[in-house]
Each structure stands twice: as structure tokens, then as C-alpha cells.
Amino acid sequence: MKKILKSKVGFKYLYQMKTLMLLTIMGLSLFGTGQNTSPVAPAESLYDIEMNSLSGEKINFGDFKGKIILFVNVASKCGFTPQYEGLQKLHETYKDRLVIIGVPCNQFGSQEPGTNDEIATFCQKNYGVDFLITEKVDVKGDEQHPLYQWLTDKSINSTKSTSVKWNFEKYLVDEKGQYLDHFISTTKPGSDKISVYLK
């Protein structure tokens, strides 16, 4: 009788162990194939983002492959507005390998209230700007433009998350469309922090 009980207990234990092992193997299999995890969306390419210029023409960022791009959220009535002069000089000095793109924004102190035509006239008349200026957009918040979603979100640009806190912040992207660096408003266009990437 004792032998029968031992046999039954042993068989039950063995059955439970086999079942546990089978479930473990199935779990590992599911985990290994990614079926047990949430899919991760690939990072978007900067070159796929659509945007218009101040004059309403479509900008194709892919046209700038092979050059470094400096994006700056600009404003006409800001204490940093004189940086337009430095940006124009930077444009003239490194135009063979650098593209400067000004992005007007009215989200900081309402310091860019003008229309597209008014912004264009202001930039040309006061600072002789001839680098590319985009349409006016939001660089933060619910209506944040896809360009700034890419520039500020690590899950999209694959490098770093930041937030735009004021006018004339600067984002640098390399020749292959990869995020390079971010500079706050007080970093002047002629700063070594920027020019080091251009030498």
C-alpha cells in the first residue's frame, strides 16, 4: 500500500514538473520572438518631414543631405533678435557645408506677431537675411510642428530629448540627418560650441 502511495505521489510530482517546464519553455519562446512585448516604432527620418517656407513653397529637407543643418526658432521682437546678424554671418562663412533655417514662432512673449510677409521684410530690411526662413509654427505644446517633435523627442530622433524654452534656441543636425546638438538662446551663432562642428 505504501509503495502504491509513493508511486502515485511520485507520478503527480513528475507530472507537475513536466507541466511547469513546458510552460516555462513556451514563455521563453514567446518572449524571444517579441510576442510578449510591445512593438517599438522605428525613429522617423528628418528628411521625411514636410514644411513650407515663408513664401509658401514646400521645403524638402532631403535636398540638404550632405550638409549640416542649424535650426533656430526666431522672433522679430526679442532681446535675442540681433542674433540674426550672427546667423547671417555664419551662413555666409560656412554656406558650402552649412544650411541655416530660421523657424518663426510666436509662443514666447508673443514676440513674433507678424504675417509671413512682414517677417520676411523685417529680416531682409534689418539684417540682410538671405538664409531660409520657414512658415510660422508652434515649437512646443499640442500644436507642435512635426519638425520640433523630431528635434525634441529622443524616441523620434534616437539621440536626445529637450524642450524649447525661449526664442533663438538652436538645433544642429549632421550631414546624414542625425541629431547632433542643442544650444540655448544665450549661445551666440559665432560660439565655438557651434563652429567646432563646422571645422
Give yes or no for a contact between 179 and 157, defined as CB atoms under 8 angstroms apart: yes
Give yes or no for a contact between 127 and 84, defined as CB atoms under 8 angstroms apart: yes
Q: Which of 43, 51, 59, 78 is catalytic?
A: 78
Tally of CB atoms within 10 A around 185: 19
Give yes or no for a contact between 71 and 182, defined as CB atoms under 8 angstroms apart: no
Q: Which strands, in side-by-side order, build the sheet including 170-173?
A: 132-133, 98-104, 68-74, 170-173, 179-183
Q: How far apart are CA 54 and CA 102, in angstroms?
A: 10
Angle at 108 between CA 136 and CA 185, to 5 degrees: 95
78 catalytic? Reply is: yes
Give the start-end residues of each E strand in 47-131: 50-52, 58-60, 68-74, 98-104
Q: Mind telling me the catalytic residues? A: 78
